[in-house]
Amino acid sequence: MLGIIGAMTEEVLHLKEAMEDVEIRTIATMDFYQGRLKGLDVVVVRSGIGKVNAAICTQILIDQYNVRRIINTGIAGSLRSSIDIGDIVLSRDAMQHDMDATGFGYKVGQIPQMEESVFKGDRNMIYMADMCCRKVIPQVGVHVGRIVSGDQFVSDQAKKAWIVKNFQACCTEMEGASIAQTAYLNNIPFLIVRAISDKADDSAEMDYAEFERMAIDNSVKLIMAMAEELVGFDR
Question: Which amino acid is present at 43?
Answer: V
Question: Using CB under 6 A, which of 37, 54, 75, 220 touches ligand ADE?
Answer: 75
The residue (of 48 and 65) whose beta carbon lies closer to ligand ADE is: 48
Contact in structure between 34 and 23 (CB atoms under 8 Å): yes
CB of 87 to ligand ADE, least distance (A): 13
CB of 133 to ligand ADE, least distance (A): 19
Does residue 197 interact with ligand ADE by CB under 6 A?
yes
CA dist., res. 188 & res. 34, Å (int):
19
The residue (of 47 and 197) whose beta carbon lies closer to ligand ADE is: 197
The residue (of 122 and 198) whose beta carbon lies closer to ligand ADE is: 198
Does residue 175 interact with ligand ADE by CB under 6 A?
no
The residue (of 110 and 155) whose beta carbon lies closer to ligand ADE is: 155
CB of 206 to ligand ADE, least distance (A): 11
The residues carrying an active-site annotation are 11, 198
Catalog residues that contact ligand ADE under the rule CB under 6 A: 75-77, 153-155, 172-174, 197-198, 200, 204, 208
